[in-house]
Chain A
Amino acid sequence: MDIGNIKKHSDLNFEVAQAKKNALEKLRSRQLMAYNERLFTADANTINLVSTLKQHSKDFYVLDVNDNPCHVKDPDDFLNKLIERNQETLNAYQQLHQDLATKRK
């Protein structure tokens, strides 16, 4: 591979990496979710935490993204909303990821 092709390859990789970064920022932004007047990220950490606490108690407290306590009185409802939002954003990201994989080939 000559230097011209290496440069093309490098430019393409930069574009793909940037597109991935932009898509991840979009995903994180779309995962922000208001619940009981508190702000949460519908990511794996929050889902795991709520899912675990739910197994021990019918209601409990968790900290939101700004470290404010939130009383979760209906864990099933909260968990469903978190999972729904999480999967919605990941589906969109997965589509883009597939497009990028095609672009790289």
Chain B
Amino acid sequence: MTTGVLMYCFNTPDMNYHRLAERCVAQIRKYLKLEITIITNLETFKKFKPMGMINYKLVDNSTTNTRPYRGKSVAWYNKERALAYEHSPYDTTILMDCDYFVFSSTLLELANTKFDMMLHDRVHDLTGKDMIMGKDEGTLPLVWATVTLFRKTTNTEAIFAMIRHVQEYYSHYRNLYRIRYINYRNDYAFAIALHQLNLGSRIPTPMTMLSDIVDVIDSDEDGIVFEYGDNINFTSGQDVHVMDKEWCNG
């Protein structure tokens, strides 16, 4: 049985996602010590610094989606994730956004259990301002696709087939579940697929997050220091999803 981390990383005109991925790889090496596969495009691949043993798979990604970020609309290349089942070379995969940083071995504990697919359904905002979860975003039980653990089983194959179907007919499912957010978002596609198939397990603790209006001002391999308004705070020894996409630019 093989276990590894799968990441999708595509630079956009506005964001150097490869910088986030490089940092993410360093954290995975320290805390999880797992094999890593990065799905990327040729343009982004050329920007990566040498990182030792990494499996790369180059694809032509879709470039049709956008998202709001710090008051403007930016390109968002997120549709390839629906192919993770086919792209993953592992029996057990930790599918992870490149802006999720591990500072503990908690994901290893989760990976050592029996499940088809496991992901977060709650978040914890480190600032205490609850800036992340919107109110009445839709009528379905929301999950976060930021970190998705899955095993290659018939159930999981069906989930990913359903995700691809939802992606193809997204406007229909968006209307069906009265989702406010207009653009395609993996969190919703995964949530819809799990709801339709009545499958999936939840990670029992919430995903720790920092919203995109919080700046990361310093970091080391054990944690990060962040700033919001007049406050400066830090987190260490705790995995965190950082929505500030520019902090690794230096």
Contacts and interface: CB of A to CB of B under 8 A. Distances in A.
Interface of A: 14-15, 17-19, 21-22, 25-26, 28-30, 32-34, 37-39, 41, 64-66, 68, 92
24 contacts: A15-B231, A17-B128, A18-B233, A19-B233, A21-B124, A22-B208, A25-B124, A25-B206, A25-B238, A26-B235, A26-B237, A30-B106, A30-B237, A32-B106, A32-B110, A32-B204, A33-B109, A34-B109, A34-B112, A37-B112, A37-B114, A38-B114, A39-B110, A65-B204
Nearest to A24: B124
B112 A66 contact: no
A66 B203 CA distance: 9
B100 to A, nearest CB: 14
* Chain A interface main SS type: helix
Contacts of B202: 66
A39 B208 contact: no
Interface in B176-214: 201-202, 204-206, 208
Contacts, number: 63
Interface of B: 104, 106, 109-110, 112-115, 124, 126-128, 201-202, 204-206, 208, 231, 233, 235, 237-239
A55 B245 CA distance: 53
A41 B128 contact: no
The interface residues of chain B, by DSSP majority, are classed as loop
Nearest to B115: A66
Contacts of A26: 208, 235, 237-238
Contacts of A29: 104, 106, 205, 208, 238-239
Nearest to B205: A29
B216 to A, nearest CB: 15
Contacts of B233: 15, 18-19
Nearest to B208: A25
Contacts of B208: 22, 25-26, 29
Contacts of A34: 109-110, 112-113
